[in-house]
Amino acid sequence: MLASFDSAPASQAPVTHFSPEHCALSIDRFNLAYAGKPALRELTLSVPRHRVTAFIGPSGCGKSTLLRAINRLHDLNESVKHSGHIELEGQDIYAPQTNVTELRRRVGMVFQTPNPFPMSIYENVAFGLRLQQRLPKRQRDDIIEWALTSAALWDEVKDRLHRSAWQLSGGQQQRLVIARTLAVQPDVLLLDEPASALDPISTLKIEELIRNLKSQLTLVLVTHNMQQAARVSDYTAFLQDGELVEYGPTDQVFTNPHLQRTENYITGRMT
């Protein structure tokens, strides 16, 4: 799967590329600015299919901004300008003919704080489904059971599907949000620090879930937690000041980074 490795001068990390058939997302010289202030600069990166790719970097480095750009959530903010391309399975998501709601169905997103809707557990998972199509109840029930099972939540909530989602614990809420996203069968799941608001045990459950889900879809994880990135991801991209510093297989980025900057960040010598 890993296609090419260049041995490069020390100021530049080797570029990791994936051949188009293995590539779910490809980002090509993408720039983005908030009200004239650049947040992402000339970002070029491709995300492999059915793998977990982690974006790491200091606060404000643009990793969450990049994640939101893949879901086009910046559309709501008028002051955001962008250039360059992001392609999902070969299609430019910023092309004028792109159906944004369909894109967002294909690219699910889970946020830092769990955000279940103020309705029952069942209705939360059914929310995305109801937007897409009218299904017979039996079929919808099956999808909901499947989504909750995939999110490792079914056994905990099967007896109280019609209770409010807000009564669940934080970790359960986050898994419910993942189930809600899975129910519409996305190709890519974006996770924006999904465990940062959770206790250690819930965090472990989410991490295990992320590892299990890669057989179904492509995952992109933004995290502040280096150990988490090392534990769950296959590839790691290190971003700093809106630029991609280093991108490669996680083992290599964490054990033998090409650049001093990466090593400093990973070992905590960041100033």
Partner 1 sequence: MSRFITVAHRRLLDRLWPWLCAASVALSLLMLTALLTLLLVRGLGHFWPASLEEITLRSGDVVAGQAIRETPLPQKIGNERLYFTGNRDIDGASWRWVDVDNIIARTTPADLIRLERAPWGDFIGRLESLEADGQRMMGQAAWDYLAAALALPADQRPTGQLLLTTADGQALSQPLSTTSRALAPNAMSWGQKTRLWGSSVWQFLSEGPRAANTSGGVWPAIFGTVLMVILMSVIVTPFGVLAAIYLNEIAHQNRLTRLVRIGVRNLAGVPSIVYGVFGLGVFVYGIGGTLDTWFFSATLPSPTFGTGGLLWASLTLALLTLPVVIVATEEGLARIPDAQREGAMALGATRLEMLTRVVLPMTVPAMLTGVILAVARAAGEVAPLMLVGVAKLAPQMPVDGEFPYLHLERKFMHLGYHLFDTAFHGEDVQAAMPLVYATALLLVLIVLVLNLTAIFLRHYFRRQRGNEC
Q: Which residues bind partner 1 (CB under 8 A)?
A: 71, 73, 76, 78, 101-102, 104-105, 108-109, 111, 113, 115-120, 123, 127-128, 131-132, 162-164, 166-167, 177, 180-181, 184
For residue 14, the minimal CB distance to partner 1 (Å) is 34
Between residues 29 and 163, which has the closer beta carbon with respect to partner 1?
A: 163
For residue 134, the minimal CB distance to partner 1 (Å) is 14
Between residues 27 and 184, which has the closer beta carbon with respect to partner 1?
A: 184
Between residues 124 and 233, which has the closer beta carbon with respect to partner 1?
A: 124
What residues have CB less than 8 Å from 154, skipping those under 6 apart?
A: 145, 148
The burial of 118, by beta-carbon neighbours within 10 Å (0-12 exposed, 13-18 middle, 19 or more buried), is given as exposed
Q: How far apart are CA 198 and CA 136, in angstroms?
A: 36
Between residues 31 and 113, which has the closer beta carbon with respect to partner 1?
A: 113
Q: How far apart are CA 211 and CA 195, in angstroms?
A: 14
For residue 244, the minimal CB distance to partner 1 (Å) is 24
Q: How far apart are CA 114 and CA 100, in angstroms?
A: 23
* Residue whose entry in the numeric block shows the structure tokens 């986050």: 174
For residue 9, the minimal CB distance to partner 1 (Å) is 40
Cβ atoms < 10 Å from Cβ of 112:
17
Between residues 132 and 212, which has the closer beta carbon with respect to partner 1?
A: 132
